[in-house]
A = this chain, B = another copy of it.
Amino acid sequence: MIVFMTSQGSTRQPKYQRIADALRAAIQAGEYGPGDRLPGENDLMATYEVARMTARQALGVLQNEGLAEARKGAGVFVRAFTPLRRRGIQRLAREQWGSGRSVWSADSEDRELVVDQVDVREEEADGPVCAALGVPAGTQVWARSRRFVLDGKPVLFAVSYLPADIVGDSAITQADTGPGGTYARLAELGHAPVHFREEIRSRMPSAGEAERLALSLGTPVIQIVRTAFAEGGRAVEINEMTLDSASYVLEYDFDA
C-alpha cells in the first residue's frame, strides 16, 4: 500500500520549507560557515526522499533569502558578507572635497577601487530629473555615469545630473573632474554645495541592475538619490546611486 504523504502528512509545513529550515538552522549553528558547500540537489533527494524539483525549491529558498549562492556545475555555497561602511554625512563635509580628496576615497580605505563604465554626455533631462532639479521640462543637463568596482566586485553605479548652464565647459564635462571632484569644480564656478538631501529606498534589482552589479539571487539594491543645494537653495546636482546591499552599510551621524 502506498501512503501518499502530502504536506499535511505529519506537519503542516511544505516539505521544501522544512528542508530549507533545516539547512538554515545548520548554517546559523555554524555547521556550514561562509564559503562552505551545502548539500546539493542529489544529496537532499537522497536524505529527504523527495523529487529533484522539491530539493531544488528548498535550495531556492535559501538563495532568495540571500543566505546561499549557487555556482553552476559546482554546488550551492554559503554566502560571505564584508560590507563597506559609508559615512553619509562626514564623507560630504566641505573638508573632504575642499582638500582635493575624492568623496569616494572616504569609503574604501586600502582596498583596490576601480572606476568603470564611465560615460559623460549632455542630454535633455527627463521628467523626474527636471522635477528634482527644479528646472523646466526639456532643460539641457550633463549626465555623468560610472561604476565602482572594489577588489573585483562591482558595488555601486551612479548617474549624476547637473544643469548645463552652470557647468559651462568646466572639467565637470570631462571624464576626470580633477582634484576634489565635481563639488570642488562647482565651488570654483560659484555654486558650492552647502546642503545635501539623501533619499534612500530598497528594492529587488531589475535584470539589468543585477547583471551590472553581478548580484546573486536574493540580493536587494539600495537606491540613494542625493540632491546638492547651493547657497540660496538652488539644486545644482542630482546623484542617483544604485548599491549592492550586500556590500554596504550606510551610516548617518547627527545631533539632536
- Looking across the interface, which residue of chain B has its beta carbon closest to that of A95? B256
Q: Which of A53, A183, A200 has the most CB of B within 10 A?
A: A200
Question: Which of B94, B194, B252 is close to A252, meaning CB atoms less than 8 Å apart?
Answer: B252
Are A251 and B193 in touch, CB under 8 angstroms? no
Contact residues, A180-229 vs B (CB, 8 A): 183, 192-207, 217-222
A194 to chain B: closest residue by CB: B256
Q: Does A204 lie within 8 Å of B53, measured CB to CB?
A: no
Q: Which of B200, B204, B245, B256 contacts A66 (CB 8 A)?
A: B204
Q: Which residues of B contact A254 (CB under 8 A)?
A: 88-89, 92, 195-196, 252, 254
Judge if A170 is at the interface, Cβ distance under 8 Å.
Answer: no
B197 touches A251 (CB 8 A): yes
Identical copies in the complex:
2
Question: Which of A66, A196, A249, A256 is most buried by chain B, counting CB atoms within 10 A of its CB?
Answer: A256
Known: A196-B254, A255-B195. Is A249-B201 also a contact (CB below 8 A)?
A: yes
Q: How far is the CA of A252 from the CA of B198 in the complex (A)?
A: 5
List residues of A (150-165) whose CB comes within 8 Å of B's CBs.
none
Q: Which residues of B contact A193 (CB under 8 A)?
A: 256
Within 8 Å of chain B (Cβ to Cβ): is A65? yes
Chain A contact surface mostly: mixed
Tally of chain A residues near chain B (CB < 8 A)? 46
Q: Which residues of B contact A94 (CB under 8 A)?
A: 256
A231 to chain B, nearest CB (A): 10
A88-B220 CB under 8 A given contacts A53-B53, A201-B83, A204-B66: no
A86, closest chain B residue (CB): B200
Q: A83-B201, A195-B256 are in contact. List 18 more A-B contacts (CB 8 A).
A: A53-B53, A64-B217, A66-B203, A93-B256, A183-B256, A194-B255, A194-B256, A195-B255, A196-B255, A196-B256, A197-B252, A200-B200, A200-B252, A201-B248, A201-B250, A202-B202, A252-B252, A252-B254
Which A residues lie at the B interface, using CB under 8 A?
Answer: 17, 21, 53, 64-66, 83, 88-89, 92-94, 183, 192-207, 217-222, 245-246, 248-256
